[in-house]
Amino acid sequence: MEPTTQPFDVPAPLRRGRLLWPALVGYVLVAASARPLTGPAAVAVLLPGCALLGVGLRRTPARQRAVGRRTAATWLGLGVLFCLWELGAFLAGNDEAHPTFSILADPLLATYPGRVAGYLLWLGTGAWLVTR
């Protein structure tokens, strides 16, 4: 059986799930121990995020699929609505009557298991996007 090749330049550890996922889970278990809204928590989010961004910017896809106008308009509309919601909530005082996304996520991210789930979602999505 021939080894499969990637159509773009993705580092070998990211191509091999047997190395990527255990490392990701180990990092998440350590990173989630940082208290929210502190310097260590910010570094725990930024380090792998910047690394994945760097990998994503360096890779060159073999082909690009055309995106339909309807799909682009839908995603653009959802993005604009989310930004307007955040801006409106921020300008209205960012309280429980006008919550931002971060206020809504606070109860989940206040616990260690919630932070583990949040980090796994954040880093897993980033790794998935980079290896697509």
The answer to whether position 3 is within a domain reads no
User: What is the extent of the structural domain holding 27?
Assistant: 12-131
Reported as a pLDDT band with limits 50, 70 and 90, residue 9 is: low
The answer to whether position 123 is within a domain reads yes
Residue 1: per-residue pLDDT: 47
Residue 11: per-residue pLDDT: 58
The answer to whether position 6 is within a domain reads no
CA distance 10 to 31: 24
CA distance 12 to 51: 14
Q: How far is CA 99 from CA 5, 24, 35, 42, 132, in A?
A: 46, 31, 21, 22, 34
The answer to whether position 37 is within a domain reads yes
The answer to whether position 98 is within a domain reads yes
Note whether 10 and 131 are within 8 A (CB).
yes
The whole model's pTM is what?
0.65
Among all chains, which residue has been given the structure tokens 């309280």? Answer: 95
The answer to whether position 7 is within a domain reads no
CA distance 41 to 29: 12
Q: How many residues does the chain have?
A: 132
Please compute the mean of the pLDDT values over residues 61-80 and round it to a whole number.
86
